[in-house]
Structure 1
Amino acid sequence: MEAGTGLDAAIEYHIVNSLHWPGLRPLQAAAVEPVRSGADCVLVAPTAGGKTEAALFPLLTEMVRDGWSGTSVLYVTPLRALLNNLHPRLGSYCAWLGRTVGLWHGDVGSGDRRRMLGEPPDVLLTTPESLEAMLVSRSVDHARFLGSVRAVVIDELHSFAGSDRGWHLLAVLERIERLAGHAIQRVGLSATVGNPTTVGAWMQGSSKGRGPAVVVQEESAAAVEPDITLDYVGSLDNAATVISRMHRGEKRLVFAESRRSAEELAFLLRQRDVQTYVSHSSLSADERRRSEQAFAEARDTVVVATSTLELGVDIGDLDRVIQLDAPRTVSSFLQRLGRTGRRPGTSRNTLFLATSLDGLLDAAAVLTLWRSGFVEDVVAPPHPRHLAAQQLLALALQEGAFGASNWRRWWGDLPLMDDGDEVLAYLCREGFLVDDSGLLMIGPRAEREFGKRNFMDLLSTFIADVELRVVAGVREIGFVSPLALPDATGKAQKPVVLAGRGWFIQSIDWGRFTVWVEEVPTKGDVKWPSGAVTQSFELCRARRDVLLGETPDVKMSRRVPGALERVRAEHEHEVSGNGLVLAPGTTDGLKLWTWAGIKANATLQSGLGLDSTGVDNESIALPEGFEFSDLAAVDTGAVPRIDDGAVAGLKFSAALPPDLARRTLGERLGDARGAEAVVTMPVVELRA
């Protein structure tokens, strides 16, 4: 290794002698100076580009040089599995310098947590929800345990930035900064973000005392062209046959877009004597770990996963990625493609297996966008007022009480709190918070709504589906929806499928939400709740382009051209190269084929003064007598109208005024830009 990397000498020594690297990768070398300077940074490089080391090595260097003590670095990821995977690796890096790493998330036992509280690790691997739990816990000395934090590494930054979990993380970091009494450096890592400068500014949270975030991006080399193949197989059963016969002796990772598809495919592969594992969010942590470990150590094997393995969990050297139908974004495709081609002499690859004509259309659209160089911008959900309510309640738990006049000091000018005054007034008026001589504390309404299990429901920003624990003997297999359980009509029940195997239900304990099962060789029902898939404006337009004749520039099987012709024939009355198609509806009224996505379509219908519930990605329903001029006059800034039932899907909506909760959700379901693009297009045809 060349001298003068800017890293601690011990790190330089171990890079050569322990990791056996010839030198730093380009991103790692470029990141040393900005990270060591204390600047907020966004580090962008392809999957397996060494981003973790690019962030951690300079921070460890500063830790040693300046004598940081206590828990000085937080390393935050969206997945527990990713934390588990990183723990031994980061532990070895810290051990080079006599430093320690701790792991804290929902699966970590109370004994391990107590040990960390007694002897804080230098680097703490955790999640936003666990940080929140620490802050509201009375058994954690917040100032002692978190007051020494100097930097936070946010892994998979794009995953946080595009969801409410990102807002929650930023709010929690602001509170930790107030406890620490100083700004905390933020280093975000991502493989797929189309707008890193914008995301970097968002990551910084409140602006007080912060300069612009530094973006360090590894330039894409004139890389070897990835091996992308599109095939049409027509069914999940045929997909299992293709996978079982192709690429034998290789390690294959198959991505499915739903737990149902993943489970069904895993069962079908096992029927074909393929060593198969499963990974998705409804499997137990132990079951997922067993699958990931066995898959990492095996060769001729398949793991079928949802997006749980899309992020950076290390599952060893991977030969091939197979995609059922299509991922929902180009960014997701790039993450999955990046799981391959990591070994010298191998190239990145993905085989798309379309199990239906609609799946083929989606796959062709994603690949068309990818070939054009398009990658989605990451945009934080607007107006997180429900999280402002959650944060105010969490602060009351953390502090016992806080000042009604100075609460803003905890979050500065973080946009999360833009509507904080209105939210706070409602919390006080409705008894979520009570005022005692200018101090606000938890009130009876908050106890009723969120107080179960010591306010555990207040710690996370997402609503989990109701599921029952599945246990075989003493082994926890995972969780199933109540929809998967047989009815009580006395008919012979079918087994349920979980972890790719069939299970006969022995008994159900509704009081403990537990299903007792035994394994059987037959396939049963695979059921989980599902809703309409919201597609972006760009993806819907790419689907329209494919229907109008666009064909992705990738390798295609002989089955694809004929299948594309069939899907185009099925939709020929819904698209026109000259503009939008207006046609009679299936029952009454008219249907305008916009191909603009659910959000843009909901905005259009609301802008026309129409009900915006029940819209789809491809079209909007219009009344008889609709005039083309009405479309040009639509209010593209209208907020989609939301019914009360839909508001229940917004976490903490009970802590907002009903009208504000509906407006918040409506603003998140709108797409003014997509609606504007639609109204500028001519309506050229009326077809019977």
Structure 2
Amino acid sequence: MLDRLHPALVHHVVNTLGWPSLRPLQEAAIEPVLDGKDAILLAPTAGGKTEAACFPLLSAMEQRRWHGVSVLYVCPLRALLNNLEGRLASYAAWLGRTAAVWHGDVPTSERKRIQLDEPDFLLTTPESLEAMLVSTKVDARRMFAGLRAVVVDEVHAFAGDDRGWHLLAVLERLSRLAGRPLQRIGLSATVGNPTELLAWLQGSGRERERAVVAPQAGAATAAELTVDHVGTVDNAAKVIAALHGGEKRLVFVDSRRRAEELGAALRAREVTTFLSHSSLSAQERRRSEQAFAEARDCVIVATSTLELGIDVGDLDRVIQLDAPRTVASFLQRLGRTGRRSGTSRNCLFLCLEQDAVLAAAGLLERWAAGWVEPIVAPPRPRHIAAQQILALALQENTIGRNTWREWWGDLPLFDAEADAIMNHLLAEGYLELDGSMAFIGPEAERKFGRRYFSDLLAVFSAPPEFTVFAGRDELGKVGDEVLLADEHGGPRVLLLAGRAWQVGHIDWKRRRCFVEPSDLPGRAKWGSTGGGLSFELARGQRTVLLGTDPAGVSFTRRAAAVLDELRAHHTGNIAAEATVVRSEGGDLRWWTWAGTAANRSLQASLPGLVDPRQRIDDRSLRLLPELTSKTINAGLRTLTPHAPEVNDQAITGLKFAAALPVELARDTVAARLADYEHARQAATEPRRFRLDRAD
């Protein structure tokens, strides 16, 4: 296949990069990408996916004489774009081509230069694309007139949330401006449903030829996986400080608060420690990531910000505090190691709670069985449909009352309720009519018009936060309601960038906070965004409790003792191939092990069986007292799925919900809280009754 690539590119691959050959994915991608097929390219982290997409696109660029911005390279994170820019620019330069980055941190002067001297590759985010389309300072029709292909890096990260729907809608509008279908190439680590993911990525062009490219790269080296129970963050820091001296260690945590706490505990033990999470300033994150990349004996503590393909140098170890929420996330993190010849992939789980040991074991059981989550786009994205209609009105100044749909073809973003959404936007003043043409109305100006509709261009809203400065250096952001506005005696000391800072002056109007270093203990807290456990991972935990240890995983004596204790504790709550209904201590509980969304759906659908006053978890449901096995079985046979109850606060968490009829906003949220498929499965499975009374 190498003979299909441009000869100059092949020359540089061999002589400049020193590669004797391409990797299996890179070779396998040449034909479908050069033939113009839509494709998903699958490989583990550091599997050469960027080159697999861009080498054939560069060749097509030369062979077919594409000019101007002909390839978009879209990433979910600005840091990932910055990390890729130099690499892509050097590849493009081999053929006399150029690459440039465009996102919110790029100075205005650089954006003007890009418009005057258009690059061949433009690296950007969906939000920046949207901003370019609606900007009065960018001639989008001219800029994207030569657009031919779009590479979507980390496509699974987009497809799993509303940013994916937003991206697809923006790509449809770009295709219309360019006057041609756009070749779409998604790059991803292993996913459970690549064919469906590719069909989703194609948007309204699902009739186009497509290919899933996922060659076997030979037998994977065994991974070194260990689970330990340490009890506290301080103990975790003690273990990390004691192990693997002289090595580079990347520690993943589940929250910004935990990152700050662990970072401070490691520094207290004189471990060279860096931090990376979303509330640190871009400058602070870059400083940490660069210093970590250049150091040897050190630790970087990160949230999922470093899960994606940002290069922080050659790692020796990955350590996970507790367990990630998905097998796919674990695979991304595991793939950070074992890149050097003679090294193996590895991950050490340090669990703080007993249940975290079970969570890690359940996740590893699913991984050992070869299961990975399918990527499923969020259902009923009607709030994004409303946002897109308003964004199009900004882009075009006016849109046809009866022709606006043509911009998106049959993209499933717009369902049978699309006309109701349009009518609501008109009725509430988000849009106004002039004959058959609609334009931005006063309500849209009032809700979203600040800073030229910047609130309309981002799918997610960040909660109100203060920017923290130490002198002139920006450290990051903290929530005002927890760290600054609460009343208590003594100085306010916050924890940020792994250090304690005493709060000095607070500029409430400009939302700025000025701090100085402190030796006092600091506090770190941000709002939680964790969701419930899936059906498969809950069942993985049940499998472990039934006695299965995940293959290829070592448990320390502490972790093994915890598992033994949990197995003894849950003996009455589990059964092979069946759910359990058990009465104990006055409670009647149904142990479904079905995951949070399925249990939530069962609660909504079984009002005659399930107690409505309970907090839903992933393992069990409290049933109404005095039920018998006969009434329970009869009730489950007549299961009729009902949507979970949605309160007003949940609706306000859906950005652009105000631009929807309230019943449609409520329906969207309810659909996302439910899992009817696995609720039905749990309801129809055999049951074991363990009651302390006779029926």
Shorter-chain TM-score: which interval? over 0.9
In 2, distance between residues paired with 1:329 and 1:682? 27
How has the CA–CA distance of structure 1 residues 614 and 541 changed in structure 2, closer, same or farther, with 3 Å as cutoff? same
Q: How does 1:287-686 map to 2 (within 5 A)?
A: 287-418=284-415, 419-486=417-484, 489=487, 491-530=489-528, 533-553=531-551, 554-577=553-576, 579-583=578-582, 590-609=588-607, 611=612, 614-626=615-627, 627-635=631-639, 637-686=641-690
User: For residues 424-452 of structure 1, what are the alpha-carbon distances to aligned partners after superposition, in whole Å with 9 as ceiling and x for unaligned?
Assistant: 11111111111101001111111122112
Deviation at 1:89, TM superposition (A): 0.5
* Aligned mate of 2:237, from 233, 237, 240: 240
Q: SS at the partner of 1:374?
A: coil
Label 1:522 to 1:589 Cα distance change in 2 as closer, same or farther (>3 A): same
Greater displacement, 176-185 / 529-538: 529-538
Distance in 2 (alpha carbons) for counterparts of 1:647 and 1:613: 21
Once the two structures are TM-superposed, the CA of residue 593 in structure 1 deviates from its matched residue by: 2.3
Residue aligning to 1:132: 130
1:98-119, Cα deviation, whole Å (9 max, x unpaired): 1111111111111111111122
Partner deviation per Cα, 1:66-119 (whole Å, 9 max, x = no partner)? 111111100001011100100000010111111111111111111111111122
Kindly indicate whether the alpha-carbon contact (under 8 Å) linking 2:24 and 2:217 is maintained by their aligned counterparts in 1.
Answer: no
Aligned counterparts of 1:220 and 1:540: Cα–Cα separation in 2: 31
Match status 1:286 vs 2:277: no
Offset, 1:622: 3.0
**Cα shift at 1:571:** 3.9
> 1:578–1:314: structure 2 CA closer, same or farther, 3 Å change rule?
closer
The Cα shift of 1:631 comes to 4.0
| Residue among 264, 267, 284 paired with 1:270 | 267
Task: Tell me what 1:73 maps to.
Answer: 71
Structure-1 separation of matches of 2:257 and 2:288: 18
1:612–1:642 CA contact under 8 A, matched in 2? no
The separation in 1 between residues aligned to 2:84 and 2:584, in whole angstroms, is 54
Moved more, 51-60 or 224-233: 224-233
Segment of structure 1 superposing worse, 643-652 or 539-548? 539-548
User: Amino acid of the residue matched to residue 28 of structure 2?
Assistant: A
**How many matched pairs?**
684
Q: Is the 8 A contact 1:612 1:640 kept in 2?
A: no
Cα-to-partner distance string for 1:622-652 (whole Å, 9 max, x where unaligned): 3334431344235454222211121111111
Deviation for aligned residue 1:546: 2.1
1:318-361 superposed Cα distances (whole Å, 9 cap, x missing partner): 11101111110111110001011111111111111111101111
Q: Quick one: distance in 1 between partners of 2:266 and 2:517?
A: 17
Change (3 A) 1:579 1:437: same
C-alpha contact (below 8 Å) 1:602/1:613 kept by paired residues = no
For residue 496 of structure 2, what is the amino acid of its counterpart?
L
Q: 1:308 to 1:488 in 2, by over 3 A?
A: closer
Unpaired runs of at least 5, structure 1: none
Contact 1:386 1:655 in 2 (8 A): yes
Residues 483 and 527 of structure 1 are in contact (CA less than 8 Å); yes or no, is this contact kept in structure 2? no
For residues 171-250 of structure 1, the aligned pairs below 5 Å read 171-207=169-205, 210-250=207-247
3-state DSSP of counterpart to 2:72: strand
Alignment partner of 2:469: what SS? strand
Following TM superposition, by how much is the alpha carbon of 1:616 offset from its aligned partner in structure 2, in angstroms?
2.0
Question: Which of these residues, 117, 120, 124, is aligned with residue 119 of structure 1?
Answer: 117
- The residue type equivalent to 2:664 in the other structure is L
TM-score norm. by structure 2 comes to 0.95
Seen in structure 2, the aligned counterparts of structure 1 residues 506 and 457 have a Cα distance that, compared at 3 Å, is: same
SS of aligned partner of 2:413: helix
Structure 1 window deviating more from structure 2 (401-410 vs 621-630): it is 621-630
Comparing 248-257 with 529-538, greater Cα deviation is found at 529-538
Alignment of 1:156-171 (within 5 A): 156-171=154-169
Please say if residues 277 and 303 of structure 1, whose CA atoms lie closer than 8 Å, have aligned partners that are also in contact.
yes
Q: 1:487 to 1:686 in 2, by over 3 A?
A: farther
CA RMSD of aligned residues (A): 1.8
